[in-house]
Structure 1
Amino acid sequence: MDPSPRSLPILSYVMKKFPSFKRPAPSDFDVEQPLPMSPSSLPSGPYFELKERMPHLTNPKLISQMRSAVADVSQTRSILKKLGPRPDHEAVDIAKARLAEIENELEEVELAEANADNLKKKEAEREKQMYKTVISLDEMHESYGKLLTDAETRLEKIYEAAAAGYNGEDDVAVVEEVNEEVVRILQEANQREVQRIDLAKKHLRFLPEAFGKIRPLVVLDLSSNQFQMIPDSIAGLENLEDLNLSSNILTSLPESIGLLLKLKTLDVSNNKLVALPDSICHCKSLVELNASFNKLAYLPTKIGFELVSLRRLSIQLNKIRSLPTSIGEMSSLIFLDVHFNELQGLPRSIGNLTHLEFLNLSSNFSDLTELPDTFGELTNLQELDLSNNQIRELPLTFRHLNNLRKFNIEENPLVIPPKETVKNGVEAVRAYLTQRYHQLLLEEEEKERKRIEAQDESPKGWFTRSTSWLKDSVTTVSGNVSEIMGVEGTRNQDPLLNQQL
């Protein structure tokens, strides 16, 4: 969980130069009652050695604040590590839905008050506890993740303040100023209808609430600024079709963004978003969504069911571990870029994207090891990048991708098809997989033929044994009848019967 030098250069530098705190963890560690993180609980050392001092960081008050921030980062990381992997977002949503169903079932059982339902009630309670555990674990990850983000942000700001010559007399803070151009735009919007506003690269730190009153606005460009948040009042832009929030420092989007029902293009790339709000699913007019270069770990579970008009989805350079099953419902999607994530596989529903033309799944490295057999249903696919993964075998259905023109599968431990075949191009790959399919089909037919022959031989032996047994039985019965009926003369004749005759 060390900070990336690319995404957090200052924090990475600080954490490398600053001595780490090593605290003994108690054996009875409880994630719900973690150790206090107040300055009074910090150890008295270690302190800097002169050779390890960071540039600009000489003020005693700043050093004290830095120690506190580093301790918070260190302890929060430790807690997150002890919690283990975070549950999959879709699994959490399923757990919440199932928990609500169980609650209703338990209410029905209690109303029935029947002894026969006691066992069912106990089983439901056990299942309920299991789902609660999943939800609770996810909530703890969310809480401690925010604590970690806050602590890391504070750490960066302290060092930035030191570099700017901060003397340590007051708290580290940023004075917000209203940009003159923003004021001019708001005044102009009060006098006439404004449909386009371009505030890109204006070094803005916050957006006034009054922006939500510019109802005729169709295009709004706020890219390449220093926004940390967007006000909820943005929901008032009921005619907005194009919103560009790229290259800011946003950690979240307002839930009210779901009220932008006419929004067609949304660019939130190159921010610090850890999640997209579920309300984004209500933006049903969206045609293009770019959320690349963020910290997303998942997409909203129902995003595919709602954004059926989406044609382009760019979510590269995030931390996404899985795509939601609903992704297969994006029937209009023609462009999907998921490279540089942590994908551990693809849902089978991916095969439903029959209009998809471009797909980039490259650089998921050790996580992506195979493709589902439904992959061959992407019959309109023209460009495919699978490079830098751990794929060993392409599914046989890959041979159905007849429109594929550009194909990259470099840096994979590929066995089927052989790399020599791949070098000859996509046509050679399809031909190889087609031949392999027919070969496997013949082998399967041969196995089936032998199985049927074995079955045919088995009844024959049984019938022979049965016939032999039947002959023996008939012979025995015939002998007994002959003895009873007195065959061969007077054998076993009854004197009394003869006298009566």
Structure 2
Amino acid sequence: TAGRPARFRLHPPALKLSSPHRPPLSQAHHKTASVLSDLRSPPPTSLPRPPGAEGVAVQEEVVAVLKQAEEGKPVESVLLVDRQLRYLPEAFGRILGLRVLDVSHNQLQVIPDAIGGLEHLEELRLASNALVSLPDTVGFLSNLKILNVSTNKLRTLPDSISKCRSLVELDASYNGLTYLPTNIGYELINLRKLWVHMNKLRSFPSSICEMQSLYLLDAHFNELCGLPSAIGKLSSLEILNLSSNFSDMKELPFSFGDLLNLREVDLSNNQIHALPDSFGRLDKLEKLNLEQNPLSMPSAEVVKEGVEAVKEYMSKRWLDALLEEEQRSMAEAAAAESLQASTPKAWLARSVSWVSDVGGSFVGYVSGGQSKSEKDSILDQQF
């Protein structure tokens, strides 16, 4: 339809090379080289092509997308999924109206820096490729809402990813990440879902506690040693998976009990010995997995009875802890009051003595303790 943005999706080619509707292979190569050259893109030799009819179809589709964009026709969505692509031309960064780019399940090893030019891009799906890094220019994608880089070979995420402030979903699972950008939580305040499972994370940056919109956090199968002490600030968190961090995950911070909206928690396959007393505050909890932990509190018997039994047990401990704290505070207040009551006479006597000494010295000074000749000359001048 005229004026309607194009949406490209590749399908397996139905025609054989001998089909009269398809030019000979040499002509297809010539066409590809010509268009890519016009777009100032790398020569076709730097864009490896799978052999056979399907490879030619992929190449022609890429060229068609770029040509349409070059002619000023709107292109909002490009889906090149599972097409054995090994290279993404720099010219893709000039498809200015592009909102969705999905090149998942290919053989891409690098994403061009020009990707940062897609200022209207809202979805970028790069899952299941061979990427070892992302370009720093990804930080220019200020309208990006969904980023999927799962199942690659990433060891880090660029610090600039924190500038993608519109991000709602980030999937970086199944990589080799050892840490997350330091400021990721300070900037990604709109992030709702974060998947970082199946990595090698040892800790979370403290800034992650600032993700006030975070609804889901999945970090199972990492090497996490614990959680930031302020994790309780994630007031919107409802689903949390920290399972299978094995010998590294041994305890939860006291602020865990501040996650009042938690509905589902998986802590299985760790080395947690005790839940914090504050766990008893999690009234909305519906699903809880504590399997394969050396728990002593609550006991294994309580855990076997299910989530409601654990909630009841921990709630009682929490109330007992509050009562104990209140009694301690009252005892300390009473002791302080008693101490104050036992000291006023001595304090008053010392105060009276001090005032008397000072008063006597002052009276002596003004009444005769000094001769007129010894008076301050400045005072004489004033009088």
TM-score (norm 1): 0.54
Q: Hey, what does 2:261 align to over in structure 1?
A: 380
Q: Hey, what does 1:177 align to over in structure 2?
A: 48
Inter-partner Cα distance in structure 2 for 1:383 and 1:456: 47
Assess if the C-alpha contact under 8 Å between 1:327 and 1:349 holds in 2.
no
Instruction: Report the secondary structure of 2:288's partner residue.
Output: strand
Offset of 1:335 from its aligned partner?
Answer: 0.8
* Larger helix percent: 1
Offset of 1:404 from its aligned partner?
Answer: 0.7
Offset of 1:408 from its aligned partner?
Answer: 0.5
Structure-to-structure mapping, 1:36-435, within 5 angstroms: 176-177=47-48, 179-191=59-71, 192-435=73-316
Once the two structures are overlaid, the 10-residue window that deviates more, 428-437 or 214-223, is 428-437
Assess if the C-alpha contact under 8 Å between 1:326 and 1:349 holds in 2.
no
Offset of 1:414 from its aligned partner?
Answer: 0.6
* Letter of the structure 1 residue corresponding to residue 215 of structure 2: I
Q: 1:218 to 1:395 in 2, by over 3 A?
A: same
Inter-partner Cα distance in structure 2 for 1:367 and 1:315: 17
* Letter of the structure 2 residue corresponding to residue 361 of structure 1: L
Q: Percent identity?
A: 55
* Letter of the structure 1 residue corresponding to residue 234 of structure 2: L
Q: 1:259 to 1:429 in 2, by over 3 A?
A: same
Inter-partner Cα distance in structure 2 for 1:455 and 1:245: 65
Inter-partner Cα distance in structure 2 for 1:455 and 1:328: 38
Inter-partner Cα distance in structure 1 for 2:46 and 2:96: 29
Offset of 1:181 from its aligned partner?
Answer: 2.3
Q: Hey, what does 1:65 align to over in structure 2?
A: none
* Letter of the structure 2 residue corresponding to residue 326 of structure 1: S
Instruction: Report the secondary structure of 1:407's partner residue.
Output: strand
Deviations 1:142-165 (A, max 9, x none): xxxxxxxxxxxxxxxxxxxxxxxx
Assess if the C-alpha contact under 8 Å between 2:270 and 2:293 holds in 1.
yes
Inter-partner Cα distance in structure 2 for 1:452 and 1:196: 68
Deviations 1:392-445 (A, max 9, x none): 100111111111101111000011011111122222112212222344556667
Stretches of structure 2 lacking an aligned partner (at least 5 in a row) = 1-44, 50-58, 343-383
Assess if the C-alpha contact under 8 Å between 1:347 and 1:372 holds in 2.
yes
Inter-partner Cα distance in structure 2 for 1:185 and 1:427: 56
Q: Hey, what does 1:496 align to over in structure 2?
A: none
Offset of 1:257 from its aligned partner?
Answer: 0.5
Inter-partner Cα distance in structure 1 for 2:210 and 2:338: 51
Deviations 1:23-65 (A, max 9, x none): xxxxxxxxxxxxxxxxxxxxxxxxxxxxxxxxxxxxxxxxxxx
Inter-partner Cα distance in structure 1 for 2:328 and 2:188: 47
* Letter of the structure 2 residue corresponding to residue 190 of structure 1: E
Inter-partner Cα distance in structure 2 for 1:180 and 1:231: 20
Inter-partner Cα distance in structure 1 for 2:117 and 2:329: 67
Assess if the C-alpha contact under 8 Å between 2:231 and 2:256 holds in 1.
yes
Structure-to-structure mapping, 1:444-463, within 5 angstroms: none
Choose from 297, 302, 318 the match for 1:437. Answer: 318
* Letter of the structure 2 residue corresponding to residue 357 of structure 1: E
Offset of 1:175 from its aligned partner?
Answer: 7.4
TM-score (norm 2): 0.70
Q: 1:249 to 1:432 in 2, by over 3 A?
A: same
Q: 1:219 to 1:372 in 2, by over 3 A?
A: same
Instruction: Report the secondary structure of 2:101's partner residue.
Output: strand
Q: Hey, what does 1:155 align to over in structure 2?
A: none
Inter-partner Cα distance in structure 1 for 2:89 and 2:337: 84
Assess if the C-alpha contact under 8 Å between 2:277 and 2:321 holds in 1.
no
Offset of 1:233 from its aligned partner?
Answer: 0.5
* Letter of the structure 1 residue corresponding to residue 70 of structure 2: N
Inter-partner Cα distance in structure 1 for 2:213 and 2:333: 47
